[in-house]
Homo-oligomer: A and B are copies of this chain.
């Protein structure tokens, strides 16, 4: 999955000395790295190739020379939408859910979100954590670190905030192909961490865990990865562990309805979710031993796209719209009726669209002897009942891919808008 740079969010103008909000209040840039300009850039809040990124640590030795801009690429915490939603996929990610500790309620949650927001702000700027930094990210730049916070359905029961609970947090329906592990699903709080360096991501994970203190304990945690910046000769849609180009039909920041599909508008319900989004998280195990036994032609008919370049089986290139009506010599549809890419098309689902922003995962060999690997599917939408749910319902009824994947964990989280300077994520909920 690659998304394009919103022109007004990333401009190659002269870098100001201090990050300043862009004209829509969402973005701040400070020089633009080659990598980002070439199309792997996220749209929101990136400070690219920021000088002096690790200012909170002692200065680098004289003569230090940047090898690439990877380390100094920086996303900004205090922006309209939280970071980690429209930013470019990072190569390393952690998803972690917390439950509030016994006795912790609204007050402790507010203090926790304030600590977490401060930590995210500091670490995303390349500075050490405020309390007992571990030095694991020392010497490295921010490496495009993003930290994103969300609230699960149970959070509102634990904090007495049921009246503030969004209707959109209604439990996801059961799907027949689900084999969900409850211990690795849901959670009061959810944190998504992404960075282009594994030690920077680990450092942030430990800092977030440490700041949880006695207020919350880890419920589950998952590690993921994506292609490294620069590993392909051009910015392109990513591949998943099945070898498929994955994310072709993602909405693009340039699309007219991009914001409407992704973000709760100002004046939306509930008010504290203005500029926020909903994240559906699914641990989708890929049954690779079965999948890899199929011929390429068979794999392509399962997906409906060519494996080599992601073009629809009806022809053209990856960007060519799929011709759903095209038939072959035998009269059957060229793109089979149960092909995954046909079923998931927005125009086949009442315009449903979500921004898929996944990480692959690989936790070695499973108890069954086959790879414990697949996709940490994360998708973003203004309303899950118009995004993930209708598409997944349809997939559940007849997707050729379903026999090669297994949904093993699930979560749905309300991710508020970004915090203004001096505020913390969720403040409008917790102090509303």
Contacts and interface: CB of A to CB of B under 8 A. Distances in A.
A211 to B, nearest CB: 13
B228 A228 contact: yes
A35 B68 contact: yes
Contacts of A296: 135
B72 A233 contact: yes
Contact of A230 (B68, B138, B234): B68
A87 B247 CA distance: 34
B138 A228 contact: no
Interface string A46-81: 000000001001101101111111111000000000
Nearest to A317: B61
Contact of A66 (B57, B136, B230): B230
A117 interface: no
A38 interface: yes
Contacts of A69: 230
Contacts of A134: 242-243, 288, 292
Q: How many copies does the complex hold?
A: 2
A230 B67 contact: yes
Interface in A222-240: 222-223, 225-236, 239
A197 interface: yes
Interface stretch (A198-206, A266-274, A413-421): A198-206
Q: How large is the interface on A (under 10, 10 to 19, 20 to 34, 35 or more residues)?
A: 35 or more
A363 interface: yes
A231 B196 contact: yes
Contacts of A63: 234
A206 B135 contact: no
A34 B198 CA distance: 22
Contacts of A373: 202
A352 to B, nearest CB: 28
A180 to B, nearest CB: 18
Q: For A136, A143, A200, A242, which residue has the most chain B Cβ atoms within 10 angstroms?
A: A136
Contacts of A234: 60-61, 63-67
Contacts of A35: 67-68
B68 A229 contact: yes
B143 A228 contact: yes
B235 A67 contact: yes
Nearest to A210: B292
Contacts of A91: 91, 197-198, 228
Contact of A227 (B58, B197, B229): B197
A293 to B, nearest CB: 8
A34 B68 CA distance: 9
B231 A140 contact: yes
Given A221-B365, A292-B134, A362-B223, A230 B70 contact: yes
A381 interface: no
A290 to B, nearest CB: 13
Contacts of A157: none
Contact of A233 (B64, B244, B371): B64
A233 B71 contact: yes
A201 to B, nearest CB: 9
Contacts of A242: 134, 136
A307 B128 CA distance: 14
A34 B385 CA distance: 49
Contacts of A336: none
Q: For A34, A67, A239, which residue has the most chain B Cβ atoms within 10 angstroms?
A: A67
Contacts of A135: 239, 243-244, 296, 307-308
Given A65-B234, A67-B235, A202-B362, 15 more contacts: A38-B67, A66-B233, A68-B68, A70-B230, A91-B228, A134-B242, A136-B242, A136-B243, A138-B243, A198-B228, A199-B225, A221-B365, A223-B362, A223-B364, A228-B228
28 contacts: A35-B67, A38-B65, A40-B67, A58-B308, A67-B234, A68-B70, A70-B228, A70-B231, A71-B231, A91-B91, A91-B197, A91-B228, A92-B225, A134-B292, A135-B243, A136-B241, A139-B232, A139-B233, A140-B227, A140-B232, A141-B231, A199-B239, A202-B362, A202-B373, A206-B288, A222-B364, A223-B363, A223-B364
